Structure 1
Amino acid sequence: MKHILFSAAMALLSPAVAAARSADAFTHVAGNVYYFQNGSYNSLVVATDEGTVVVDPNGRTARKLRDNLSALTDQPVTHLIFSHSHGDHASGGEAYGDVEAIAHSNAPPKLGGVDLDVQFDQNHSFQLGYNTIELTYLGPGDEEDMIATVVRPENVVFLVDVAAPERMFYTSLGGDNVEDWYQQILTAEALDFDIFVPGHGRVGNHGDLTNVKLYMEELRTDVLAGLKAGKSANKLVNELTYPERSHWQQYDAWRPSNVRGMAEYLINSGAVD
């Protein structure tokens, strides 16, 4: 394994060069666990002595990850995991050749350009080197085949699109069933993990997921109370500013859409009647 060499090389770079390279680079999380960032997208990498696991080899990232993998390990990619079937994450699998591809049973049999070898209903786990990879179905919500990946013994969760540390929900909540989305968050929160690596955004911890849950609860409660009081969505956008979350990623861009999206969902679901 080349973990020590890679870390030492990065330490010798100037801050400017290191920052530039980190935009398309591996970042160490814990033990054998890394993530590879390409723009706003993260792919999880578990580099063991018996092979490498990649989660979400999206097309924007897959070949860059493959071409730079020697910075971490001389072991090839042996397992691909797809968190869900959205095209921006489930693409690029063909870059890795003959691997074991894994996804939920609700995913199509071919995903990311490869045929799936394993599809499971609720839970699936496997051992590679000293690492255990645990996959858990999160239920319907933001896509019908969404899973969470937990890597042990590092106790790292990789959770995509459902939540991200200190990051607003994507625009207007995507027209999803918010109650199902909330249940996905609860299912993920019940998992045993310490470190939270999201599909987009910065790394956090278990408490960050709880904080996202609390934001969804607060948003739903506040918007529902406002609608029942006869307030319009535009008025609620002006009133529900959540200044304690003003440092969250995409606060200015997505907070108004979060309020409008929640209002639309609550009206359409009949919750306001």
Structure 2
Amino acid sequence: MIEILSPTELARAKDTGALVGHILQTLRGRSAVGTNLLDIDRWAKAMITGAGAQSCYVDYAPSFGRGPFGHYICTAVNDAVLHGMPHDYQLADGDLLTLDLAVSLEGVAADAAISFIVGDARPAESVALIATTERALAAGIAAAGPGARIGDISHAIGSVLDAAGYPINTEFGGHGIGSTMHQDPHITNTGRPGRGYRLRPGLLLALEPWVMVGTAELVTDADGWTLRSATGSRTAHSEHTIAITDDGAEILTLPRPA
């Protein structure tokens, strides 16, 4: 299913996106050496429910997971990159943490992810990983607009990731979003320009470049959800929900200025 939002629905999407951006920014500020991943999950729950929103994850039970997920945010550390299930783990200095959050507010969902380094350490490999996914996300957003095609976005993202030397996994990528979290079209993190669905104003897309050092192969934890690098290498993941507008693309999941 591909949804095209009305102006009224788009206004609600902007509210949802701003909430997602605010929660992620707040959680990043609270995530320090010694913070427990379960505390991050509890903080996310409190902010989501306090805003009158609903988690897209708690009851999420797709075919690839051992569902329902049962938590309010994905917390992936170091070699974990996607669907990281919060568990009893205290963050250490230099950990690379990815927070991935999707919520629904007034019937419209938004989805975003950030990767950052905890504490004072700044491992060069982790810095490079994060910066590359952020550049790839910016390139994908720049390629989006009315009349462009999904392949244009995939090509823009993949060009950045490939130039940085990272193998690209095409099993998981970006997606349409609207009244539900995951919709068509699927947006791989590499592809051929000029191919695929033509973008229209009112379309919402979640773009999410992610990479792992030296491999494109994933393994699944015993929890049935957390996806890790098959080699134990570091990973990073950046994501925004965007709206296709009459003259380009608008990022919805940035926190509103205070």
Q: TM-score by structure 1 length?
A: 0.31
Q: TM-score by structure 2 length?
A: 0.32
Work out which of the two has the higher radius of gyration on C-alpha atoms and give 1 or 2. Answer: 1
Which of the pair has the greater relative contact order for Cα pairs under 8 Å at 6+ separation?
A: 2
